[in-house]
Amino acid sequence: MKKIIISVILLLVWVLLLSQPIIEFETLKYEFGRIKEEAGMHNVDFNFSNTGDEPFRLIKVKAG
């Protein structure tokens, strides 16, 4: 009986590990180069997609 319970628990953990959000970025870094202050703000977008089975939630995002 103990082996069956352990097997069921391991199976559940394995299933939970398989169904996760997976985030993939198009690019991971951006080289700004030299930017003059009087040129104003410079913005960069980092595009990503979720290729996993579950929704991906961004929580407590803070600007750097």
- The predicted model gives 6-29 an average pLDDT of 82
33 lies in some domain: yes
Residues with Cβ within 8 Å of residue 32, at least 6 apart in sequence: 42, 44
Contact indicator for 22, 50 with CB cutoff of 8 Å: yes
Q: Quick check: is 59 in a domain?
A: no
- Does residue 55 lie within any of the structural domains? no
**Domain membership flag for residue 56:** no
Q: Would you place residue 47 in the very low, low, confident or very high pLDDT band (cuts 50, 70, 90)?
A: very high
Residue 57 lies in a domain: no
- Identify the domain containing residue 35 by its residue range: 2-50
Q: Kindly state the helix (H) or strand (E) to which residue 23 belongs, with its residue range.
A: strand 23-25
Separation of alpha carbons 6 and 8, rounded Å: 5
Asked whether residue 53 carries a pLDDT value surpassing 80, the answer given is yes
What is the model's pLDDT at position 58? 82
Residue 16 inside a domain? The answer is yes
Number of domains in the chain: 1
User: Is this structure's pTM higher than 0.75?
Assistant: no
